[in-house]
Structure 1
Amino acid sequence: MRLTLRQLQVFRAVCESRSYSRAADEMALTQPAVSLQIRQLEELIGQPLFEYLGRKLYLTPAAEALQRASTDIFGRLDSLDMQLSDLQGSLQGQLNLAVESSAKYITPHLFAAFKRQHPEVNLELVVVNHAQAVKRLSVSRDDLLIMSQVPTDMDLEFMPFLDNPIVAVAPAGHPLCQIGDLTLQDLTAYPLLVREPGSGTRKASEDYLRQKRAHFAQTTQVASLDALREAVVAGLGVALMPRHAVHLEVAHGLLCELPVQELPLYRSWCVVHPRGKRLSPVAQAFFAFIRAERARISALATRFDAAPTAHRASG
C-alpha cells in the first residue's frame, strides 16, 4: 500500500467535517480533487471508506480503522518534530487539549503559566461536555483532556490537580439572598435550572440532590454553561454551578452564591489520557508541569474564589 500523507490529510478532513465540500474548503482544494483522493485511497484499501444514509455521511469500519492509524501516524510525526526542536534546546509544538466546559475558565490561566516556561508552545483548545469528553477519550482524539468524574470503565491514566467546587447561585434580589443560612431543601420551592444531558456538572448535581433527597418540582433545561448562567441572572430560577463559572457575576453583584449547608459539592479536575498513549514531548511537559506545580495552580485558582454573599444581604 502506497498511501501518501496528502491523501491521509484529505481523508482526516473529510472525517472531521463529514462533508466533501467542507473538507475541500478546509484544504483549499476543489471538491473533485477531494473526491479523487478518497477514491484513490479506496482503491488502495480495497474497501469503501464512506457511505451516505439520507444526506448524512458515515464512516465505514475500514474508515474507522484508517482514522485510528492516521491519528497515530500524524501524532508520531508531530512528536518527531517536537523531539528535534527539543534537541535544539527549546520545546516547540502544539498542545491539543480538550476540556469540559466548566474548566474553560481556569485552563487559559493554566496554559499561560506553562507557556511562560515554554514560550514556543502553542495551544489548540476544544471545549466539550462530559459525554463528548468520554467519546474523545475512547478514540484518543486529543493529546490530553481535562475533566472531572473520570470514567471508571476505561483504561485511563489521570492525575487530580484542582478542586472544582459546585455551588448554588440565585439572581441578585432573589428571596433566598436575604437568608443567612440555607439547606438544599430550602431551594426546592424554586425552579431549578439544569444543563443538557451529558453535562458532568448536571450528573454530579443530580446524583448529589438524589442522595440528599432534595427534589425539585420544576426544572428547566438550558443547553450550555454560559446560557445557564445568563438564565439565572435573568431570574428564571436557581442553579448549581461551578464556582469558577460564576465568580465575575458574583463579584459584580449580578448573582449571589447561596450559603447552603451541604455545599459546595467538591469534585476534582483531572488531566487525563488513555493508558499506554504515546504522549508528544509537549504533552509530556504539560503533564509534568501540572504534577510539579499543583501548589502554584491552586494559587492561580484563588482568583475564582467567591464567598457566599447571601449573609451580606440579610437584615
Structure 2
Amino acid sequence: MRKSLLRMTFRQLRVFRSVCNHLSYSRAAEEMALTQPAVSLQIRQLEELIGQPLFDYVGKKLYLTEAAEALQRASADIFGRLESFDMQLSDLQGSLQGQLSLAVESSAKYFIPHLFAAFRRQYPEVNLQLVVTNHSQAIKRLNANRDDLLIMSRVPTDMNLEFLPFLNNPIIAVAPPDHPLCNQSTLSLPDLTPFPLLIREAGSGTRQACEEYCHQKRAHFAQTLEVGSIEGQCEGVIAGLGLALLPRHAVRRELECGALRELPVAELPLLRSWCLVHPRGKYLSPVAQAFFAFVRDQRSLINALAERFAEPSSASQPGS
C-alpha cells in the first residue's frame, strides 16, 4: 500500500463524501458546517495524497474523476465497516442498534414503510435512511455501493447480485370514474389504445415493463404524455388527461375513495416481483443482515400486510 494513503483522515473522507453527494463545494460546506475554502483545502490535500485529481469542472458542473469514483467506493466500505462495528458493539450489549440505509424504486415506496414498521417492532432501536429512486438510478447506486440494501424489480442479469423476491407488484389500468371505458364489464389491452396514456420518465422500471408488455400484446398507444412521478400520473388521470398503468399499491387510496377506477382489462394485472438486492459478496452490517433475514423468514406477515393493498375496493369496480 502507498504510505501516503495511510495519512488520509476520516475528516477528509467525510468532506469528500459530502462533495460527491452534493456535487457542490458550497453545499458540502453547508452540510459540514465549514467554509468553502476549508472544503477546497481538504479536497486538495486528498488529491496530493492520492496523486490524482478527484473532480473536474465542465462548464459550471462538477464531475467525479475515475479516481474519485474508486475512492467513493472505498470510503463507503470504510464507513460501512465502522458503522457495522458500532452495531456489533450494541449487539454485544444485548440490543441491535444502528441505521438501515435502504434504497427503493418508487413503486415500492408505498409498501416499504409498512414493512419497516413491522421490522422495527422487533428492533425498536434501528433507524431508517430511505432513498426513493427510479430503476436506472437504482442500478447506479448498486454500482457505487451506496446503500445497505435495495428494493427493486427487474434485477439486472449482467451484474453479480444476490436477490430475494418477496412480494408481487401488480400493475393495473386506471381511469377517472366518468371515463367511457368504466362502463365496460370486460376489456382487452388494445381497447385502451385510442386514449392517451400517461407514462413515467425514461429510466423508470415500471415504464419499461409496461412498454415491453404492451408491445408483446400488440397494444400500441398513439398518444402518450410523459409525467415524472407516480403521483403526477395519478393526478393527471384524475384531471382527465388520459389513462395510466400504475402499481395497485400506489393508487389504493384513490381506488377506495372512488377518485380512480380500475379498468377490467383481461391481460392485467401485470405481475412483477419486488426483490431485496445487494451485490454478491458485499459485507452486510448486522442491521442489514437482520432486515434481510426478516424479509426472508416473515412471509406470512408480509403477505398479511400486502392484503391491504391487494384488492380493489367496490368503489373501483364498473357500475358501482
TM-score (norm 1): 0.98
Does 1:93 find its partner at 2:98? yes
1:118-173 deviation line (CA, Å, top 9, x unaligned): 00000000000011011111111100000011011111000000000000000111
Deviation at 1:303, TM superposition (A): 1.0
Counterpart in 2 of 1:48? 53
The question of whether the paired residues in 2 share the 8 Å contact of 1:168 and 1:239 is answered with yes
Counterpart in 2 of 1:157? 162
CA distance in 2, matches of 1:143, 1:260: 38
CA distance in 1, matches of 2:137, 2:29: 26
Counterpart in 2 of 1:62? 67
Give the letter for the 1:251 counterpart. Answer: E
Deviation at 1:313, TM superposition (A): 3.7
Does 1:5 find its partner at 2:5? no
Counterpart in 2 of 1:188? 193
The question of whether the paired residues in 1 share the 8 Å contact of 2:258 and 2:316 is answered with no
Deviation at 1:310, TM superposition (A): 8.4
- Bigger Cα displacement from structure 2, 53-62 vs 305-314: 305-314
Counterpart in 1 of 2:27? 22
Give the root-mean-square deviation of aligned CA atoms. Answer: 1.3
Number of positions where the alignment pairs a residue of Structure 1 with one of Structure 2: 315
CA distance in 1, matches of 2:131, 2:89: 27
CA distance in 1, matches of 2:23, 2:157: 31
The within-5 A match list for 1:255-266 is 255-266=260-271
Counterpart in 2 of 1:222? 227
Counterpart in 1 of 2:311? 306
- Name which of 286, 294, 312 aligns with 1:281: 286
Deviation at 1:309, TM superposition (A): 5.6
The within-5 A match list for 1:131-280 is 131-280=136-285
Counterpart in 1 of 2:108? 103
Give the letter for the 1:57 counterpart. Answer: L
Does 1:123 find its partner at 2:128? yes
CA distance in 2, matches of 1:304, 1:55: 45
Q: Which runs of 5+ in 2 are unaligned?
A: none
The question of whether the paired residues in 2 share the 8 Å contact of 1:258 and 1:309 is answered with no
CA distance in 2, matches of 1:269, 1:190: 29
**TM superposition outliers: structure 1 runs of 4+ over 3 Å:** 308-315
Percent same amino acid among aligned pairs?
A: 71
Deviation at 1:314, TM superposition (A): 3.2
CA distance in 2, matches of 1:31, 1:281: 36
Q: Which runs of 5+ in 1 are unaligned?
A: none
The question of whether the paired residues in 2 share the 8 Å contact of 1:179 and 1:310 is answered with no
CA distance in 2, matches of 1:272, 1:226: 25
Q: In structure 2, do the counterparts of structure 1 residues 158 and 290 end up closer, same or farther at CA, with 3 Å as the change threshold?
A: same
TM-score (norm 2): 0.96
Give the letter for the 1:246 counterpart. Answer: V
